[in-house]
């Protein structure tokens, strides 16, 4: 029950109705018996500054950040974690007595989801589809775990070169048009294929990236960051071909668990959040 001692948490974004963060965080808070409240806050693009002033004034302990504020918010922070600075995006903010610090927990979320699947990135050859915000976090995760190489396939290679240039000192990164023969050849060398595009996401479940999964060797892991539906067209086809698959649910849960730890100082079982996500998606 809410009281004068209840600490406030939330998520800011626009739109905000799609977010599963309140469901995940409330489930973890209840399991931990912590006196916190977590709410979704609709913040249009032009209202970010007054929203941050309000969150500070109301002593919010912290908040998650979603589109369109992940990059814009950086200029208004008092401090930023090195991972978030390099990625150029913040998804978690912690308020320590009015001083706000930004973090990006997507890197940990991605790495923990692979660890749960007993997949070690070190020395592996990665192929990734897309070069947006999610791809930047994944790229840094691949660099941190010393992937042997990173190949990025996109519609427009010129737009993806900025990502490659930002991380080129940490790993061997090549960018190709995903329809090119050069990219198709790289598929055959991949140990892991990662879809960091929204193609296949509900409600457009009939979409998938235009790639030939048959070119992958049979042991390659296929990881789709999309979590709704639980099996995209890409994952269904990969599964039919005998590939191990992972969807975005685990990454979502693990990044949420890391945000929870930053907010509260308490470790939580990501499975609690994962169960809450699955239950919510099943009821849609």
| Residue 284, pLDDT above cutoff 90 | no
Q: Which residue has the tokens 């079982």?
A: 269
Query: What letter does residue 47 receive in the DSSP assignment?
Result: G
Q: Which of 7, 70, 122, 233 is catalytic?
A: 70
159: confidence class by pLDDT, cuts 50, 70, 90: confident
What mean pLDDT is predicted for residues 203-224? 94
* Residues ≥6 apart with Cβ < 8 Å to 98: 56
User: How do residues 16-47 score in pLDDT, each as one tens digit?
Assistant: 988 999 999 999 999 999 999 999 999 999 99
Report the alpha-carbon distance of residue 248 to residue 174 in Å, rounded.
24
pTM over 0.75: yes
79-80 and 99-103 strand pairing: parallel
What mean pLDDT is predicted for residues 126-150? 96
Q: Which residue has the tokens 């930047």?
A: 136
Per residue, the 3-state secondary structure of 84-150, as one string, reads HHHHCCCCEEEEECCEEEEECCHHHHHHHHHHHCCCCCCCCEEEEECCCHHHHHHHHHHHHCCCCEE
| Residue 259, pLDDT above cutoff 90 | yes
User: How do residues 188-197 score in pLDDT, each as one tens digit?
Assistant: 999 999 999 9
What mean pLDDT is predicted for residues 95-123? 96
7-13 and 36-42 strand pairing: parallel
Contact (CB, 8 A) for 192 and 219: no
Query: What letter does residue 232 receive in the DSSP assignment?
Result: -
Ordered by where they begin, the domains of the chain are: 7-104+250-282 (3.40.50.10860), 118-243 (3.40.50.720)
Question: Helix or strand or coil: residue 36?
Answer: strand
Exposed, middle or buried, 41 (CB in 10 Å: 0-12/13-18/19+)? middle
Please state, in angstroms and as integers, the Cα–Cα distance from residue 169 to each residue in 83, 134, 136, 166, 244, following that order: 15, 20, 14, 8, 31
Mean pLDDT of all residues belonging to the chain: 95
> What number of other Cβ atoms are within 10 A of residue 139's Cβ?
28
2: confidence class by pLDDT, cuts 50, 70, 90: low
The strand pairing partners of 69, in sequence order, are none
79-80 and 36-42 strand pairing: unpaired
| Nearest partner of 259 among 81, 131, 138, 98, judged by Cα | 81
283: confidence class by pLDDT, cuts 50, 70, 90: confident
What mean pLDDT is predicted for residues 158-167? 92
What mean pLDDT is predicted for residues 170-185? 95
To the query of whether residue 70 is one of the catalytic residues in this protein, the response is yes
């Amino acid at each position: 029950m809410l009281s004068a001692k209840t600490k406030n948490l939330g998520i800011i974004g626009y739109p905000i109705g799609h977010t599963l963060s309140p469901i995940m965080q409330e489930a973890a808070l209840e399991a931990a018996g912590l006196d916190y409240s977590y709410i979704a806050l609709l913040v249009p693009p032009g209202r970010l500054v007054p929203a941050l002033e309000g969150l500070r004034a109301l002593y919010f302990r912290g908040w998650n950040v979603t589109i369109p504020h992940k990059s814009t918010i950086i200029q208004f922070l008092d401090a930023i974690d090195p991972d978030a600075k390099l990625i150029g995006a913040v998804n978690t903010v912690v308020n320590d007595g009015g001083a706000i610090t930004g973090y990006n927990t997507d890197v940990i979320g991605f790495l923990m989801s692979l660890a749960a699947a007993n997949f070690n990135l070190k020395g592996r050859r990665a192929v990734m589809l897309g070069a947006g915000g999610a791809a930047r976090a994944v790229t840094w995760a691949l660099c941190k775990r010393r992937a042997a190489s990173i190949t990025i396939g996109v519609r427009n290679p010129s737009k993806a070169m900025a990502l490659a240039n930002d991380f080129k000192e940490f790993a061997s990164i090549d960018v190709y048009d995903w329809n090119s023969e050069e990219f198709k050849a790289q598929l055959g060398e991949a140990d892991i294929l990662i879809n960091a595009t929204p193609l296949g996401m509900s409600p457009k479940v009939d979409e998938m990236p235009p790639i030939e999964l048959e070119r992958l060797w049979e042991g390659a892991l296929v990881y789709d960051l999309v979590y709704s539906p639980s099996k995209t067209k890409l994952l269904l086809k990969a599964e039919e071909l005998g590939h191990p698959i992972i969807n975005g649910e685990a990454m979502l849960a693990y990044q949420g668990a890391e945000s929870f730890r930053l907010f509260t100082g308490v470790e939580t079982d990501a499975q609690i959040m994962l169960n809450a996500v699955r239950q919510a998606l099943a009821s849609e």
